[in-house]
Structure 1
């Protein structure tokens, strides 16, 4: 079931007695859980009819006892079952005796006054287990799968809509490029920018560049972008800002070398006719990272990129062996790239 389908059912007050939320995307798990709870329980009685049990600390029996208890001043009880590791092949850190036979019995005939939500932060469940089969048969299932760029953009657009603003396609892509794949951070940044542009405002790429809390790797992306366009002052400005934040020159050098290597790999694969989607899969990169690398690669020849990787390796060696001051070595590397581009 998709989030959209679940939202539609909840709005029509069509509730399931059982929900299974599983996957590694924490934000979707938390968002979906909150959405179900808010739809089912009145704010005034939520404190009486909402409970949560961590299966690494409490037995499933105690959670089911709660689910079978009549709600207080409301129509439903909501019982959240966190970390149901018995749905997987893993074992808990602490030994807790769970009566899975009783759980199987409950799943086949759940009480109509309780909504039981299983929140399983695991990539995979053990499909061979009876409890997993029963839960998938009788409950509504939401998989919090790893986000591709299209799904990330949908969530970003949804967050903007919820905040009563509009975000352009270019701004959404820019945000994902600079912030990375952490969905919770993406939504947080959208909400921050929404406050800045105001109700019915528009979030443009310039808004993103001005307000976003940049990750280290996104700063390196931008540094390489400035270098590729011969903006050495802008590249050094980012470099100095990162050094002021106590980022190690050796680490920055390694990230620069990594980005140059990615640009070279994308350039080589592009000449072989690979699509950006296929390149992303082969290189285990986010599709937008490939798109940026392809764009940056147009400023360099393959020969130049190979030479830069050799220079980066030499700079790394000089830093680690103390042959030259680390910061000076980093500065010289950046300026040499621009100087070489100007000569060519």
Structure 2
């Protein structure tokens, strides 16, 4: 089952005896565990009802034994077992041996008073393994992978709605640009925005500028956005601000070159028929980053992007060899782009 299906079923009270949560988005894994905990266990009972194990240190048969043990002072309990690397193709470095036949036996007749949750930080499970095939047939695998660009925007919008406020048009995208694609970081910023906007309020772009602090990388990304839009006055203002903060010009050039390289790769792959999701996987970038880079790259052809990358490489060499003043070199680069 996919993540959304799992959440809907939990909301309806349709609880599976076993869940296997895997994928790189650990926030979604923890969110699913929280939902199960809230649904099954009263807050005052959690010390007795929720047990956690690390499978790098504990054999899976001990976890099964815990699941089969009657709960103490509570009607149902959760058993959470992390680092289930035996479900992947990864080589386990620990010396713990897991008797997977015990898990196979348990799957045939799970107890009704325990919910067993396995988690593993891996994008894929090894479907060649018998135990993984059995878990897949039982429909208990829940992939918690990175959200697509549209899903990420939708997720932030829903988080705001859940907290009783909304974002003005265009502000969600700006929040993601400033904060990044980490759901954990976005959650914290949405909580901050909720306190500022108040119940039933609307958070504007000006409000966001006051609330969200940006990293050097995000400020440079904003500089690149000004460059791409050919908004040279804001670009020079942003550059002056970065230099005032003592940011190293060579680092600025490196990060600008990185974004233009991504734009080049995205445009090239899209011309070959790749989807944004496929490109994200191909170049190891979040789908939202691919969406932004695709929009930026629309203003250039591949030849122009290649020329800009060459200019940046030349500028980097001149800066490092002392052939040009670093600040002057950056300013000349911006002026050449504008022309």
TM-score, with normalisation over the residues of structure 2? 0.85
Structure 1 71/253 Cα, relative in aligned 2: closer, same or farther at 3 Å? same
Contact 1:276 1:290 in 2 (8 A): no
Name the structure 2 match of 1:129: 129
Please state if 1:182 is matched with 2:185.
no
**Aligned-residue RMSD, C-alpha:** 3.1
Deviations 1:113-134 (Å, cap 9, x if unpaired)?
A: 1110011211111112222223
Q: CA deviation at 1:279?
A: 9.6
Deviations 1:195-232 (Å, cap 9, x if unpaired)?
A: 21111112344444443333444322321333455654
Structure 1 104/257 Cα, relative in aligned 2: closer, same or farther at 3 Å? same
| Partner Cα separation in structure 2 for residue 83 and residue 302 of structure 1 | 43
Contact 2:227 2:235 in 1 (8 A): yes
Structure 1 269/45 Cα, relative in aligned 2: closer, same or farther at 3 Å? closer
Name the structure 1 match of 2:158: 158
Name the structure 1 match of 2:15: 15
Please identify, of 71-80 and 258-267, the stretch whose mean Cα deviation from structure 2 is larger.
Answer: 258-267
Name the structure 1 match of 2:292: 289
Q: CA deviation at 1:112?
A: 1.2
Q: CA deviation at 1:65?
A: 1.9
Q: CA deviation at 1:159?
A: 1.0
Note the 1:70-109 alignment, pairs <5 A.
Answer: 70-109=70-109
| 5+ residue gaps, structure 2 | none
Name the structure 2 match of 1:57: 57
| Partner Cα separation in structure 1 for residue 272 and residue 69 of structure 2 | 63
Deviations 1:150-185 (Å, cap 9, x if unpaired)?
A: 211221122112211123452222333343332222
Structure 1 183/68 Cα, relative in aligned 2: closer, same or farther at 3 Å? same
SS of 1:45's partner is helix
Note the 1:100-119 alignment, pairs <5 A.
Answer: 100-119=100-119
Structure 1 79/321 Cα, relative in aligned 2: closer, same or farther at 3 Å? same
Please identify, of 308-317 and 260-269, the stretch whose mean Cα deviation from structure 2 is larger.
Answer: 260-269
Contact 2:266 2:290 in 1 (8 A): no
The alignment of Structure 1 onto Structure 2 pairs a total of residues equal to 335
Note the 1:106-255 alignment, pairs <5 A.
Answer: 106-138=106-138, 140-168=140-168, 170-228=170-228, 231-243=231-243, 247-255=247-255
TM-score, with normalisation over the residues of structure 1? 0.84
Contact 1:9 1:15 in 2 (8 A): yes
| Partner Cα separation in structure 1 for residue 282 and residue 68 of structure 2 | 50
| Partner Cα separation in structure 1 for residue 179 and residue 277 of structure 2 | 23
SS of 1:89's partner is coil
Structure 1 136/229 Cα, relative in aligned 2: closer, same or farther at 3 Å? closer
Name the structure 2 match of 1:318: 318
Q: CA deviation at 1:307?
A: 5.1
| Partner Cα separation in structure 2 for residue 36 and residue 130 of structure 1 | 27
Structure 1 280/126 Cα, relative in aligned 2: closer, same or farther at 3 Å? closer
| Partner Cα separation in structure 1 for residue 278 and residue 20 of structure 2 | 34
Q: CA deviation at 1:261?
A: 4.7
| Partner Cα separation in structure 2 for residue 283 and residue 91 of structure 1 | 24
Contact 2:87 2:125 in 1 (8 A): yes
Q: CA deviation at 1:240?
A: 4.2
| Partner Cα separation in structure 2 for residue 146 and residue 258 of structure 1 | 22
Name the structure 2 match of 1:66: 66
| Partner Cα separation in structure 1 for residue 203 and residue 141 of structure 2 | 34
Contact 2:276 2:291 in 1 (8 A): no
Q: CA deviation at 1:266?
A: 6.6
| 5+ residue gaps, structure 1 | none
